Amino acid sequence: MINTIYFNTEFTTSAHTLGQLPKDSVAEVAFAGRSNAGKSSAINTITRNKKLARTSKTPGRTQLINHFEVTAGNYLVDLPGYGYAKVSKSQIKHWKATLGDYLRTRESLRCLVVVMDIRHALSDYDWQLIDSVMQGDAALHCLLTKSDKLGNSAAKQALMKTSKALEDHGVECTLQLFSALKKTGVEEAHELLDMYLPDAKFSQRSNSDEPAS
């Protein structure tokens, strides 16, 4: 079910270190993925705001932990892209350490959405990210983006292959297909967010129940 509350999501802050993260956070769903996997485009499509998360054809443009507030204390989080981003070794080292600490220790993190290009799913970088989140308490969801690049049958096969690989490694997670271009998978993504940002879901339900003036 589409939840229009996510269309009101607004940027709040960018953080270079964990100490700069919002102190009022109650629940967060974070998005992470290899550079150029379509992470920022997925966030923008889910929130129906093309300018919310910074997108670029140049890999690795997301260099900070960006928080977007859905409702008070409920956030979507855009994590730095990883993989072949063209940045210094010292910056990559900082990202890796900060990202790992965030995934393992952020108490308000409810779910990590690993964004993967369906044509290049489960790279070494994806496995590193999955391993980090498994050391914490957050749930895991895999978003296979750019599904429009494959036919329906091939996309479903890729989804099943990814699911089996995760299962074989003892990883518990949910998966879905997604296309920012075709706007497919948005309803399923909203249902996921509703699970882990319950206050946002409640706010939307309360608003819809209000009598017309």
Query: pLDDT digit string (tens) for 18-62?
Result: 999 999 999 999 999 988 899 999 999 999 999 998 754 444 445
Place domain 4-207 in its CATH homologous superfamily: P-loop containing nucleotide triphosphate hydrolases (3.40.50.300)
pLDDT for 180: 96
Per 3-state DSSP, the chain is made up of helix, strand and coil in percentages (nearest 5) of 45, 25, 35
pLDDT digits (tens, 9 = 90+) for 68-91: 999 999 999 999 876 555 667 777
Cβ(65)–Cβ(102) under 8 Å? yes
Mean pLDDT of 188-210: 75
Distance (Å) of CA 148 to CA 20, 87, 94, 168, 172? 37, 30, 34, 27, 26
pTM of the predicted model, to two decimals? Answer: 0.89
Cβ(175)–Cβ(144) under 8 Å? yes
Ordered by start, the domain boundaries in the chain are 4-207
pLDDT for 93: 80
